[in-house]
Amino acid sequence: MDAVVDRALAGPTELLPDELATLLPTAPDAERLLEAQRMLRKVGITWPGSPEIPE
């Protein structure tokens, strides 16, 4: 996770698939997934297929 933090401190970053799997090891229900995505976007972290973060 240190690599994720280092990238996030430099600006918006994108989680790699293995990093995302570390955060959510089992498939969450749709409501939990949506909440996790909202929290990650708030701090400038995206993932493959995520919506763009406005500047």
pLDDT (tens digit per residue) in 14-35:
778 888 788 777 877 888 888 8
- Structure-token pair, residue 26: 């089992």
On whether residue 55 sits in a domain, the answer given is no
Site of tokens 């698939």? 17
Average pLDDT over the chain, rounded to whole? 77
Domain containing residue 12? 2-46
Number of domain units in the chain: 1
Integer Cα distance of 5 and 48 in angstroms: 17
- CA dihedral defined by 55, 20, 10, 53, rounded to 10 degrees? 0
Residue 53 has pLDDT above 70, yes or no: no
Q: 3-class SS at 4? A: helix
51 domain residue, yes or no:
no
Q: Is residue 52 part of a domain?
A: no
Single pTM value for the model:
0.47
The C-alpha atoms of residue 22 and residue 5 are separated, in whole angstroms, by: 14
Cβ atoms 16, 52 nearer than 8 A: no
